[in-house]
Amino acid sequence: AQKVTQAQTEISVVEKEDVTLDCVYETRDTTYYLFWYKQPPSGELVFLIRRNSFDEQNEISGRYSWNFQKSTSSFNFTITASQVVDSAVYFCALSEKGNFNKFYFGSGTKLNVKP
């Protein structure tokens, strides 16, 4: 079974629209870590945020915000007032305390922001 599911394969929005990228995870570990990465067309994966399972506080960083909901095993990512530069593939990832060197990546969501 998929440990990390990103059901949205591709999303297209017009600049300045808000967009939410969904991430649902599955784990039996009580301690785990969640991450979001951005992969622009150049190919490099850029680390965006980390969330520990024991810290359910949501976070906002500029136009980016993350909503961690343990009850629904979700870690969604919202971009407010999207810009063309936000166009990229976004990956959600999970690692577990029991084997923290193993990262489980979702299949990615391609975000197209049109001017």
Partner 1 sequence: GAVVSQHPSRVICKSGTSVKIECRSLDFQATTMFWYRQFPKKSLMLMATSNEGSKATYEQGVEKDKFLINHASLTLSTLTVTSAHPEDSSFYICSAREGGQENSPLHFGNGTRLTVT
Q: Taken in order 32, 105, 27, 6, is the CA torsion positive or negative?
A: positive
64 near partner 1, judged by CB under 8 A: no
85 binds partner 1 (CB under 8 A): no
Residues 57 and 69: their CA atoms lie apart, in Å, by: 9
Measured from the CB atom, is 2 or 58 closer to partner 1? 2
Q: Which of 76, 82, 87, 95 lies at the binding interface for partner 1 (CB under 8 A)?
A: 95
d(CA 54, CA 31): 7
The one among 42, 57, 61, 71 contacting partner 1 by CB under 8 A: 42
Structure tokens at 5: 């599911």
Question: Is residue 70 part of the contact set for partner 1 (CB under 8 A)?
Answer: no
Residue closest to 10 by CA, chosen among 81, 113, 82, 115: 113
Interface residues with partner 1 (CB under 8 A) are 33, 35, 37, 42-47, 50, 52, 91, 93, 95, 97, 100-103, 105-108, 110
